[in-house]
Amino acid sequence: MSDPLSPEEARRERIAQLERSTRRRVTGVQLPVAVLCLAGAIFLLAREAPDIAYVFASRQPVTLGSEGAYHLDRLQPNVYAQVHGVPLGTAFYGVERGAKMVLVPLQDTPLLVRRPLLPTEEWVPGKKPPPPDPRPFGVRGRLLPLDSVPGYAEAAPQIRALQGLRPVDGRLWVLKEGERPGEDRGPLLIGLVLLGFAGLNALLAVRGAQALLQDRAARRKNHLRSV
């Protein structure tokens, strides 16, 4: 058995016990919460990654060609691209962020152009949509696989059933008219905020883990002293 502690040693030991108890309560909550917040930030960063990457994409458009001379081997996600084509007689109308938009398939391609309505395309939500303007047109914008564009999943089977569309390797693509790289800095700002939040929680997680390890080491040492 160890010798009894002096009053001064007993006081210091009691203070140390209180500090360890407080540290256990703090780190016991801090560590899992920090890890959970870090995981959430990483998940959101991964989801924002394509939008952030597009901010830094080349401003020089990838040319996909025109009627009878398409370069469909140049299809790649998240690039600035241009194409000229003939619209099919069917289009898909909707409202995005309060603005009326139309998704226009291009004949003999795997491409659908998302653009605002033209003056010749009068559509009232809830009523039968008109055919799109039939004139061939050229367009530039952001190129994305159809299955990666939020909000289009419900219409995907109907879109794939259209006669005149030509999927490439089983995929259809959306060209978002007018979306130029670097014009919208919102994703970059969001990414910086998430990165800072992730870094803060990574630091808290490391400190919490270190405190837990130190606490366990101190308890083990005190246990050996009392034997």
Parse the chain into domains and list their residue ranges: 7-54+186-226, 57-177
The C-alpha atoms of residue 57 and residue 53 are separated, in whole angstroms, by 6
DSSP at 135: S
Tokens of 7: 């009053």
Distances, alpha carbon 62 to alpha carbons 31, 51, 100, in Å = 47, 18, 27
Per-residue confidence at 1, pLDDT binned at 50, 70, 90?
very low
Q: What is the pLDDT of residue 25?
A: 46
Strand, coil or helix: 100: strand
Q: How large is the average pLDDT for residues 188-214?
A: 85
Q: How large is the average pLDDT for residues 58-81?
A: 95
Q: How large is the average pLDDT for residues 69-91?
A: 95
Q: What is the pLDDT of residue 221?
A: 64
CA dihedral 157, 158, 162, 166 (to 10 degrees): -30
Token look-up 């780190």 returns 27
Amino acid at 182: G
Q: Taking the CA atoms of the chain, what radius of gyration do you get in angstroms?
A: 30
Other beta carbons within 10 Å of 138? 9
Q: How large is the average pLDDT for residues 137-149?
A: 93
Per-residue confidence at 128, pLDDT binned at 50, 70, 90?
confident
pLDDT at 114 over 90: yes
Cα atoms found within 13 Å of the Cα of residue 174, Cβ hemisphere only = 23
Tokens of 53: 């990457």
Distances, alpha carbon 124 to alpha carbons 8, 40, 93, 130, in Å = 85, 40, 9, 10
Who's near 205: CB < 8 A, 6+ residues apart? 31, 34, 35, 38
pTM: 0.76
Poorest-confidence range of 106-110, 149-153, 196-200? 149-153
